[in-house]
Each structure stands twice: as C-alpha cells, then as structure tokens.
Amino acid sequence: MSDIKIYLDLSEEIQQLLADNGITIEDILRHENIDVSDVKKGVMPQNCGENNRDKGLVTFILASSFLLAKIGCAISTALNSSSGKTVNESKEHLGKDVVIFKFTLEVTINKQDSTR
C-alpha cells in the first residue's frame, strides 16, 4: 500500500501548547508506537498559490493510509491531555492520497448572569 500525505492544520493555540510543553508531532507518534515514513514541513495544497505564500509551513506526515484514523486519534488524545481542554478535530480528503487534519482548541465562553 502506498503512502499518503497527511497535512496537519494546527491552530495557533495548539502550536503554542506544543511549544510550551516541548512536544513535537514526532514525539506523539513515537509514544503511540505509530510507524510513519516521514514527518516534514511543507505548504498546504490549497495554499500553494502565489497569494498564500505567507501562510507559512505546516507539518505533514507520509504514512500508510490504514494509519490515518490511528494518527488522528493519537494527536487528539495527546493534545487533550496536554491542554486539559477539548480538542476539535476535522478531516478533509483532497483526492485519494492527500488528507488534511485540522485541530483547534474548543473555546468556552462564560456568560455573565444578566440579573446582576
């Protein structure tokens, strides 16, 4: 089975959480014994146009497609434990060999009691 590219779209809060805790995506995958071909930095497929070069580099993983669910679950679980907050995960397939995982922290807004 050939490898697919799994792009990780990590919110700024998640990137900061990883940096603050000294955790990398490679650390998470290694901890979960997930063997991937490679973890690299690159440009998101939809960001390849001239107008989007300022979006910066993102992490992408080359891995067998049968590891897709395991990779998403491992990253979500690690982020949930590190942050103590709910991590939202979504996935988008761009063709048969490209997937984008998007991870964001759930924001809880405390409403003020209007009777005060």
Task: Write down the CATH number for the domain with range 3-105.
Answer: 3.30.1360
| pLDDT bucket at 115, cuts 50 / 70 / 90 | low
Mean pLDDT for the stretch of residues 94-106? 89
Tokens 């998101």 belong to 44
Say what the pLDDT of residue 57 is: 83
The whole-model pTM stands at 0.79
Q: Are 17 and 79 in contact (CB under 8 A)?
A: yes
Terminal Cα-to-Cα distance of the chain (whole angstroms): 62
Q: Rounded to 5 degrees, what angle do the CA atoms 37, 41, 47 make?
A: 120
Distance (Å, whole) CA 18 – CA 25 = 8
Percentage of the residues of the chain whose pLDDT score is greater than 70: 82
Question: What value does the mean pLDDT of the chain take?
Answer: 83
Going from N- to C-terminal start, the domains of the chain cover: 3-105
Mean pLDDT for the stretch of residues 75-95? 90
Q: Using one digit for the tens of pLDDT, what is the confidence trace for 1-36? A: 678 999 999 999 999 999 999 999 999 999 999 988
User: Which residue type occupies 41?
Assistant: K
Say what the pLDDT of residue 84 is: 87
Distance (Å, whole) CA 28 – CA 6 = 15
Mean pLDDT for the stretch of residues 56-81? 90
